[in-house]
Amino acid sequence: MIEQTALMDIENLIFYYPQGQRPALNDVSFRVREGEFIGICGPAGAGKTTLSLCLNGIIPHAQAGRMAGSVSLRGVLLKEYTLPALSETIGYVFQDPETQMVSLTVEEEIAFGLENAGAAPSLIKERIREAVDAVGIDQLQNRSLKSLSGGQKQRVALASVLAMRPQVLVLDEPASELDPVGSRDFFQLLLQFNKALGMTIIIFEQKVDQLAPYLDRLLVLHEGCIAAAGRPNQVLADERVSGWGIRIPQVAEFAHVLAREAHFRLSEVPLTVEEGLSLIRQWKGKRL
Ligand X SMILES: Nc1ncnc2c1ncn2[C@@H]1O[C@H](COP(=O)(O)OP(=O)(O)OP(=O)(O)O)[C@@H](O)[C@H]1O
Q: Site size for Mg ion, by CB under 5 A?
A: 3
Output the smallest distance, CB 67 to ligand X, in A.
13
* 242 binding partner (options ligand X, Mg ion, none; Cβ < 5 to 8 Å by kind): none
Give the C-alpha separation, 183 to 196, whole Å. 20
Could you say whether residue 150 binds ligand X (CB under 6 A)?
Answer: no
Q: Within a 10 A sphere around the Cβ of 69, how many other Cβ atoms?
A: 15
Could you say whether residue 50 binds ligand X (CB under 6 A)?
Answer: yes
Could you say whether residue 48 binds Mg ion (CB under 5 A)?
Answer: yes
Strands (E), the chain: 6-16, 25-33, 37-41, 66-73, 76-77, 90-93, 168-172, 200-205, 217-222, 225-230
Could you say whether residue 210 binds Mg ion (CB under 5 A)?
Answer: no
Give the C-alpha separation, 36 to 38, whole Å. 6
Q: Within a 10 A sphere around the Cβ of 183, how many other Cβ atoms?
A: 21
Could you say whether residue 245 binds ligand X (CB under 6 A)?
Answer: no
* Residue closer to ligand X (CB basis): 68 or 288: 68
Ramachandran sector of residue 76 (left: φ over 0; alpha: ψ -120 to 50; beta: rest): beta
* 44 binding partner (options Mg ion, ligand X, none; Cβ < 5 to 8 Å by kind): ligand X
Contact pick of 49, 87, 152, 200 for ligand X (by CB under 6 A): 49
Residues near Mg ion (CB under 5 A): 48-49, 95
Q: By CB under 6 A, name the binding residues for ligand X.
A: 17, 19-20, 24, 42, 44-50, 95, 206
